[in-house]
Structure 1
Amino acid sequence: MSALNRFHETASDALEKISASLPAGAKLCLAIYTPEKPELDIVLQDKGLDLNEVVSTLRRRGLSIDGDNAYKRDLLDAIVGALAFGAQNTSPPPSDHWGTRFWEIGREERGLHEELVAALKLTRENLRACQAMIHLAGGADPAYVNDAQAAMAVADAVLAKAGA
């Protein structure tokens, strides 16, 4: 019998003994990990164990959302992807998927962005039309003209960033 098989057998026997003394309905999970060697990780668990409850238990016992681990990085990458796809209005997740919430946020933010760009374009064009009318009417206070020109330059810069 290999050392790994002996370990599994010994651990299973020990877990059965521990399980016998647990309160009714309690579940048992043993996780063994070797840093930098995930291929050596071992998880022994009771039948019917809910791994989400294990994570909740660890959170109640001090596991921090601020710590760095691959699961959280993957989760956050998925959220960022859902936001980006929503902004592009492509690849929506199934309607009952948790990522739908983030996809819809991305889509709504993109819609607001487009509305703001349209409003800025309209305002900029009306400001340009006012400038043209003032010029045709024979001029105006130079301070107004200079301020209006500066405002149009700001609008043009923002519109250029927005690709509009």
Structure 2
Amino acid sequence: MSATSRFHEVANDALVKISNNLWPEAKLALVIYTPGEPGKDIVLKDQGIVLDEVISTLRRGGLSIDGDNAYKRDLLDSVVGAMAFGVQNQNQPPSGHWRQRFWDIGREERALAEELTAALKLTRENLRACQATIHLCGGFDPAYVTDAQAAMKVADAALAKVSA
């Protein structure tokens, strides 16, 4: 019998003995890890254990959302992806799924960006029309013309960044 197999057998026997002395609804898990060597991870757990409850228990015991771990990175990648898909109006999560909230945020941000872009286009066109009128009529303060042209350049630069 290999050392790993023997360890599993001994650990399992110990966990059974511990479980027999716990209150009836209690669940037991054992995690062994070697930093930087995930291939050596060992997770032993009772039947019927709810892993979300294990995470909640670790959180109450000091696990921080500020720590750096693969689970958190994967979760945040999912959140960012849901928001990006919402902006693109693609891959909507199933109804009631936790990512729906983030997909909706993406949709709302896209709608706001489109609304602001339309307002900026309208304002820019009105400013252009004013500039044309001033040019045709003459007699207006040249500083106004210069300032308005500078404002139009700012609007043009912002509109060039938006693909609408």
Q: Return the TM-score normalized by structure 1.
A: 0.94
**Which residue number corresponds to residue 158 of structure 2?**
158
Matching of residue 108 in structure 1 with residue 105 in structure 2: no
Secondary structure of 1:93's counterpart equals coil
**2:50 counterpart of 1:50:** yes
| CA–CA distance in structure 2, aligned partners of residues 50 and 122 of structure 1 | 56
Shift of 1:24: 3.1
Cα shift readout 1:3-38 (whole Å, capped 9, x = no counterpart) = 222111111111122112223311110011122222
Alignment partner, residue 121 of structure 2: 121
Amino acid at match of 2:80: V
How far residue 104 of structure 1 moved from its aligned partner, in angstroms, is 1.3
1:36-89 deviation per Cα after TM superposition (whole angstroms, max 9, x unaligned) = 222221111111111111101111111111111111111111111111111111
Structure 2 unaligned segments of length 5 or more: list them: none
Displacement of 1:139 after TM fit? 3.2
Report the equivalent of 1:39: 39
Count how many residue pairs are aligned between Structure 1 and Structure 2. Answer: 164
Q: Write the mapping of 1:3-42 to structure 2, written as runs, cut at 5 A.
A: 3-42=3-42
Kindly state the Cα deviation for residue 2 of structure 1 after the two structures are TM-superposed: 2.0
Aligned residue runs from structure 1 range 70-81, under 5 A: 70-81=70-81
Shift of 1:113: 0.4
> Which residue of the partner structure matches residue 135 of structure 1?
135
Q: Which moved more, 1:129-138 or 1:35-44?
A: 35-44
Letter matched to residue 82 of structure 2: A
Please report the RMSD computed on the Cα atoms of aligned residues, expressed in angstroms.
1.3
Which amino acid is the alignment partner of residue 37 of structure 1?
E
- CA distance in 1: counterparts of 2:76 and 2:15, whole angstroms: 35
After TM superposition, which residue ranges in structure 1, 4 or more long, deviate above 6 angstroms? none
